[in-house]
Amino acid sequence: MTVLEKSARASVESDGLAQLLSSPLLGVALAVVAVAQQLIGHIDCDVSWFSTFAEKVLDGRVAYVEVSDPNPPAAFLSLMPAVLLARALHLPTEAMVAALVFFAAAGSIGFSFLLLRHGAARSRHEWMQLLNAAIFLLLVAPEIVFAEREHIALLALLPLLAALAAEGRAPAPRLARIVAGICGGLAVAMKPHFILAIALPALALARRERSVRALLRAELVAAALASVIVTGATLIAFPAYVGEALPLALEVYGPARDDLGHFLAHSLALAYVALLVGFVVAARGAALGRASLVALYSSLGFFAAFLLQGKGWMNHAYPAIVLLLFAWIFLALRDRAAPVAGVRAALTKFLFVPALLAAPAYFGIVEQLTDHEEHEDLLAAVAAVAPPHPRIATIASQLDFGHPLTRRLAGEWVGRQNALFVTAAVGRLLETAGPERRQRLEARRSADLAALAEDIRAGRPDVIVAEDRATREWVLKRPEMAGALDGYRLAKQAADIEIWRRAE
């Protein structure tokens, strides 16, 4: 085969791949896969807990007093519409959560595309490729982080990023940009760290334009005002967050970061860094287009938030990785970049493409498609000894021992917190605490254990799930928990997990 024949064959293969990637049928297939995945699996522990939180508040419990969490009110309020609709339509809350997230994603993607059309000119094939990539990264790839706060926040933030990226030719209508900014402000209300995902691309654009006035775009001003107003309104509506949960978050939950070695070995941090370094090398010598620049710096903002939180959880990493992949996509679509060749071609082929295709694996595709339990055989073990619609409590350091277990058994959660996370966090923080701080931390732990004991006595759960024997024995030796399991018997075990049943 001659060089010309090889070149012609490669061109035909490239055209065929481009046709496939820009096919509307591919987009439909990806959407079907996204829906099927959510039907096969189940919502994760965080989404389950905040659904329960929203239901309890709707039933009259005082938020951050009778049901509590270190996260801001927007965390459970984001699921309140699904809870209200589920009750009105007599449908499962989980189904309504998924449905509303799909609806929100469709709106976010559609609105973002309308805004992007005011930016760099693209062919119909490129728009379809971008649409299919958005469906894949925003609906298929999330897997078990679907409907997490980070997933919802990214969907809310997307139109604002599109507005920032779209001013290459002519700005979008002012009203549309203001609405996009308000959506971005809602994302910040979910977690204050997310302001970095707006601030960094805004600063990058201001630096490129050499104008501070670039920071006063309508969408950025709207985002700032919306974040302040929405956050302020939720804090006024739920004052106990400021008085109770926020101090706890600042003193215990926030500082309880993962050990650096474990963080690097068991999180997506190194994968992100590898993809980032590859992008920087691939983009070297090219004038990054506006869309690539915005996606890149917003990704860096989310990655900074991931590091600041220090937990290493995949849902915390999701927005950073997805936006970095979008930056690669815009680069691959020749967003003012030089033609793909040499090192860039190799990195695109051997780093970006595999990373893009593997995105669902980062966020739990195996767990989602196998409907994998958070703790193997725990659901069946509890179901075997519990009455119908059981009242459930846990003696555990993490919420995934009780959630989504309680909801999957159509049970009722007993307890104001989702787990003894305060007790567990204090245990780690005491290792480096000075005398004064140690005293404050001990008081936090004592209050956490006393609250659980009170919840068990008042709520009389049918079943108490203990993380393991060592955890149970340590907790029950504490004076705050004395006699908490009186009247309960060990009914069953699932590996090391103990299931205690209230005596009839």
For 290-313, write each residue's pLDDT tens digit.
999 999 999 999 999 999 999 999
389 and 352, same domain (yes or no): no
Taking a C-beta distance cutoff of 8 angstroms, is the pair 356, 379 a contact? no
16 within domain boundaries = no
Closest C-alpha among 64, 70, 65 to residue 46 = 70
Mean local confidence (pLDDT), 242-259: 96
Same domain, 386 and 356: no
Q: What is the pLDDT of residue 168?
A: 60
Mean pLDDT across the chain, nearest whole number? 93
Contact 183, 160 (CB under 8 A): yes
Whether 312 contacts 43, CB under 8 Å: no
| Last residue within a domain, chosen from 347, 367, 387 | 367
Whether residue 13 lies inside any domain: the answer is: no
Per-residue confidence band for 22, with pLDDT thresholds at 50, 70 and 90: confident
Q: How far apart are CA 210 and CA 371, in angstroms?
A: 51
- Residue 189 near residue 75, CB atoms below 8 Å: no
Contacts of 324 (CB under 8 A, 6+ apart): 272, 275, 276, 279, 295, 296, 299, 303
CA separation for the pair 234, 115 (Å, rounded):
29
Domain membership flag for residue 206? yes
Parent domain of 414:
378-502
271/253 Cα distance (integer angstroms) = 26
Q: Tell whether 275 and 423 lie within a shared domain.
A: no
pLDDT of residue 419: 98
At 8, the pLDDT band (50, 70, 90 cuts) reads very low
Residues 95-110: tens digit of each pLDDT: 999 999 999 999 999 9
Judge whether 252 lies within some domain. Answer: yes
Q: How many other C-beta atoms lie within 10 A of the C-beta of residue 59?
A: 9
180 and 98 co-located in one domain: yes
| 149 and 179 housed in the same domain | yes
Give 442-476 pLDDT, tens digit per residue.
999 999 999 999 999 999 999 999 999 999 999 99
Judgement on whether residues 363 and 383 belong to the same structural domain of the protein: no
Verify that 356 and 385 share a domain, yes or no: no
Residue 357 and residue 385 in one domain: no
In this prediction, residues 142-151 reach a mean pLDDT of 98
Q: Quick one: 103 and 190 in the same domain?
A: yes
Residue 11 belongs to a domain: no
CB 130 within 8 A of CB 333: yes
pLDDT at 200 over 70: yes
Residue type, 320: A
| 399 and 498 assigned to the same domain | yes
Report pLDDT digits (tens) over 401-456.
Answer: 999 999 999 999 999 999 999 999 999 999 999 999 999 999 999 999 999 999 99
Confidence of residue 130 (pLDDT cuts 50, 70, 90): very high
Does 172 or 146 have the greater pLDDT score?
A: 146
Encoded amino acid at 31, one letter:
A
The model's pLDDT over 330-364, given as tens digits with 9 standing for 90+, comes to: 998 864 445 556 888 899 899 999 999 999 999 99
| pLDDT tier for residue 12 given thresholds of 50, 70 and 90 | very low
Q: Kindly indicate the confidence band of residue 286, based on its pLDDT and cuts at 50, 70 and 90.
A: confident
Place 17 in a pLDDT band, splitting at 50, 70 and 90: confident
Instruction: Specify the range with the lowest mean pLDDT, choosing from 3-7, 16-20, 97-101, 400-404.
Output: 3-7
Residue 383 sits in the same domain as residue 412: yes
Region 478-485: what's the mean pLDDT? Answer: 96
What's the domain count of the chain? 2
Taking the alpha carbons of 60, 153, 69, 40 in that order, is the dihedral positive or negative? positive
Residue 181 in domain: yes
At 72 the pLDDT is 97
Q: Is 77 a member of any domain?
A: yes
| pLDDT given at position 3 | 44
For residue 379, pLDDT beyond 80: yes
Among 313, 345, 367, give the residue marking a domain's end: 367
Residue 75 lies in a domain: yes
- Whether the pLDDT of residue 1 is over 90: the answer is no
Residue 10: per-residue pLDDT: 45
pLDDT at 14: 56
Q: Greater confidence, 4 or 90?
A: 90
Arithmetic mean of pLDDT, 50-63? 98
The encoded tokens of residue 414 equal 């007993």
pLDDT confidence bin for 122, thresholds 50/70/90? confident
| Element housing 502 (H / E) | strand 497-502
Listed residues 367, 386, 420: the one ending a domain: 367
Please tell me whether residues 358 and 432 are part of one structural domain. no
